[in-house]
Copies of this chain bind each other. A is one copy, B any other.
Amino acid sequence: MTTHHFVATAFYNVIGTMPPALKIASGDTVVTRTLDAGGYDENDVQRASGPNPMNGPVFVDGAEPGDVLKVEILDMKPTRDTGFTRSVLAANVVDPEAARDLPRSEKMLWDIDRQAMTARLKEPVAGLERLVLPLSPMIGCFGVAPSLGQAISTATSGAYGGNMDYRVLGPGATIWFPVFAPGALFFLGDCHAVQGDGEIVGTGIETTFEVTVRLTVEKGRPISWPRAETADDIITIGNARPLDQALQHATTEMLNLLVADYGLTKEAASHLLGQVIRYDIGNVFDPAYTVACRVGKTWLPAR
């Protein structure tokens, strides 16, 4: 198993079937430094334009359509002392009439303390003088080339992953993507130091990271939507608008997972899900929203 230090020199605003920037073996590890959502690097030099410029694609040997790409997020180190957010709730997350009375959104700067692993607003804001947030790094946008040779904006997401902006997808999490193209063609970028549910100001605290991921091809267990796992939970992810449809995708995928991986009938899976399921709203801002369906491992039968 090799570790590749991948220095991206081109950045993409789409996820698609592009020429590989790096070829690796299944099981290899990739370390790479990402730009922020606006294309600025760790020295605050703009190296690409938005939205969400991606490092990649990484071609993983042996990955074929119908396979699954397992992505273990091993580490995320912040590489800059500042991040930015937008300053006002997105118009679509408040009542239509209330949207009229929102102020205009501007760019806000945050200081990131990489020793303490905390963030705070650069300029004092009345009432929030003491707000110090622990960093909770996550990858906002990552995934693999979608079906049909499509190339899709990094503003949005789908079955192939993309801009899911789901705060749980940070160090320690593993995520599985369905593979649609030879080599899978893995992309990542748009990392956040902190983000609330829904990404409702349209950003997390956007900054740059050194990200370490291990990429492994898995055969013989096809999936329809991204799946994930943390220390405590198994997770399925649906990306669509409206939230109702994203939730349907995530729930259907979890039902299928429980049937296929744990041998439950649909009724047994329903008994379990009905009483223990948890839903997370990844984002309710991007063109496709993200809903995750979580089940605590403590409730699962032996596989």
Contact surface of A with B, Cβ cutoff 8 Å: 13-14, 16, 85-103, 108, 121, 125-131, 133, 147-153, 194-201, 203-205, 240-245, 247-249, 251-252, 255, 262-281, 284, 289, 299, 301
In contact, B263 and A98 (Cβ under 8 angstroms):
no
In contact, A151 and B149 (Cβ under 8 angstroms):
yes
Enumerate 30 A-B pairs (CB-CB under 8 Å) in ascending A order.
A14-B148, A14-B149, A89-B274, A91-B99, A92-B96, A92-B244, A93-B247, A93-B248, A97-B99, A101-B266, A125-B268, A127-B268, A128-B264, A128-B272, A128-B301, A131-B271, A148-B153, A150-B152, A194-B275, A195-B275, A196-B273, A196-B274, A197-B278, A198-B277, A198-B279, A200-B273, A203-B274, A241-B241, A244-B289, A247-B284
In contact, A277 and B196 (Cβ under 8 angstroms):
yes
Q: Name A15's closest neighbour in chain B (CB-CB).
A: B150
- Min CB gap A100→B, angstroms: 6
A195: B residues at CB distance < 8 A = 274-275
Q: How many of these chains are in the complex?
A: 4
In contact, B130 and A301 (Cβ under 8 angstroms):
yes
- Min CB gap A153→B, angstroms: 5
- Min CB gap A288→B, angstroms: 9
Q: A273 contacts which of B194, B201, B248, B273 (Cβ < 8 Å)?
A: B201
- Min CB gap A53→B, angstroms: 11
- Min CB gap A266→B, angstroms: 6
**Bound complex: CA of A217 vs CA of B98, how far in Å?**
28
In contact, B197 and A279 (Cβ under 8 angstroms):
yes
Q: A255 contacts which of B98, B129, B196 (Cβ < 8 Å)?
A: B98
A205: B residues at CB distance < 8 A = 275
A89: B residues at CB distance < 8 A = 251, 255, 266, 269-270, 273-274
In contact, A94 and B276 (Cβ under 8 angstroms):
no
In contact, B131 and A299 (Cβ under 8 angstroms):
yes
A151: B residues at CB distance < 8 A = 16, 149-151
In contact, B271 and A196 (Cβ under 8 angstroms):
no
**Bound complex: CA of A276 vs CA of B128, how far in Å?**
13
Q: A270 contacts which of B99, B100, B201 (Cβ < 8 Å)?
A: B201
In contact, B98 and A100 (Cβ under 8 angstroms):
no
A149: B residues at CB distance < 8 A = 13-14, 151
